[in-house]
Structures are given as structure tokens and as C-alpha cells.
Amino acid sequence: MAEPTMILIVDDDPDIVEAMKVVLESRGYDVSTAASGAEGLKAVERSRPALVILDVMMETGDEGFAVARKLRAAEETANIPILMLTAIKDKTGVGFEKEAGNETWLPVDDYVEKPLKPGELIAKVEELLRSP
């Protein structure tokens, strides 16, 4: 690896950002962070990350989606894979795997749930970076 792969984390929770950063950096990724959707968009503009990890809920309940749509709409950023951070399985004790696959209309490539599971995060990041 000549130049480390750059990943951008957009999330307004500094502790979760820090945890993810630690996990990703342990795998040799170069991590930059943004605390809001607007900041995130600016950061993408500036540094063109190889992957964006995007929190759904920031200042507004669907800020993450708005950012994802904007990224997809612009030609230069349309191909950056997006990993969405959600609390999608927040129902009860029983998991609902079926639901996650259903949101085809959302312009993201994959989901990862909060709270963070390091193994899962790394697996998903690696998979997204591998696919063309």
C-alpha cells in the first residue's frame, strides 16, 4: 500500500467517531471525520475519500440520507461507496434481517448498525472497497 486508503466518517457523535477511527486506523486506513452533513460534503469535495461512512441521524432525522443523495447526484462523487450507520434493528430483542435489504430506493451501498461491532465494520468496509 503506497498511499493509505482514505475513509471519511460523518457522524455528530464524537465518541462513536473516535471508536470507529481507532478501529479503522488499526487496519491501516487513513481516517478523516466530519461532524455534520454540510461538513461532510465539504470534506468529500476537498479530499475525495475512497469510502464514506455516514450516520443517518444528525441534526435532523434524515440528514444522512440527504447527504447520500447529494453525493449520488454529483457525477464526481456518484461512485464513492457509502456505508450507512443506522439503528435499523432497534426493535426489540429479535433481529429483523429482512428489513435491511428492502430499502432499495436508498442510495447507499450497505448498512452497519450502531452500536459498533469492530469485526462487522471492518468486513463491510473491506467488501465495499473491493467491489468496483
Partner 1 sequence: MNPAVSDSLVRRVHWLVRIRWIAAVAVAVVTLTASRVLHVGVAVLPLYGISALLAGYNSLFLLYLRRAARRDSPATDRQIAGAANAQISIDLLVLGALIHFSGGVDNPFLLYFVFHMIIASILLSRRAAFLQALLATCVFAAVASLEYYGVLHHYCVDGPVSSGRHADPLFVVGIVFVLATTLYTSVYLASSIAAELRERDEKLDEANKLLIEQDCIKSEYVLRVTHDIKGHLSAISSCLEPVLEGVTGPVRPGQLNLIRRAGRRTEVLARFVKALLELTRMRLSEEIAAERFSVGDAAKDAVSYVEARAQAKSIAVDLRVADGPTDIVGARVYIEETIANLIANAVKYSPDGSRVRVTVEGTEDAVLVEVSDSGIGIPASELPAVFDEFYRASNARAVEREGTGLGLSMAKQVVERHGGQIGIESKEGRGTTVTLALPRRPSAEGRRVQTPRGLRSPQASGDAVPRA
Binding residues for partner 1 (CB under 8 A): 13, 15-16, 18-20, 22-23, 26, 56-57, 60-62, 64-65, 86-88, 90-96, 98-99, 102-103, 114-119
Q: Nearer to partner 1 by C-beta: 61 or 132?
A: 61
Q: Nearer to partner 1 by C-beta: 79 or 102?
A: 102
Cell numbers placing 42: 465539504
Residue 7 C-beta: closest distance to partner 1, Å: 15
Is there a contact between 103 and 73 (Cβ–Cβ < 8 Å)? no
Q: Nearer to partner 1 by C-beta: 81 or 111?
A: 111
Residue 30 C-beta: closest distance to partner 1, Å: 17
Q: List C-alpha distances in Å: 106 to 35, 56, 122.
A: 22, 11, 22
Q: Nearer to partner 1 by C-beta: 20 or 34?
A: 20
Q: Which residues pair with 7 in a beta bridge?
A: 31, 51
Residue 75 C-beta: closest distance to partner 1, Å: 27
Q: Which of 85, 104, 110 is nearest to 11 (CA)?
A: 85
Residues 6+ apart with CB under 8 A from 48: 6, 76, 77, 80
Residue 48 C-beta: closest distance to partner 1, Å: 27
Cell numbers placing 101: 435489504
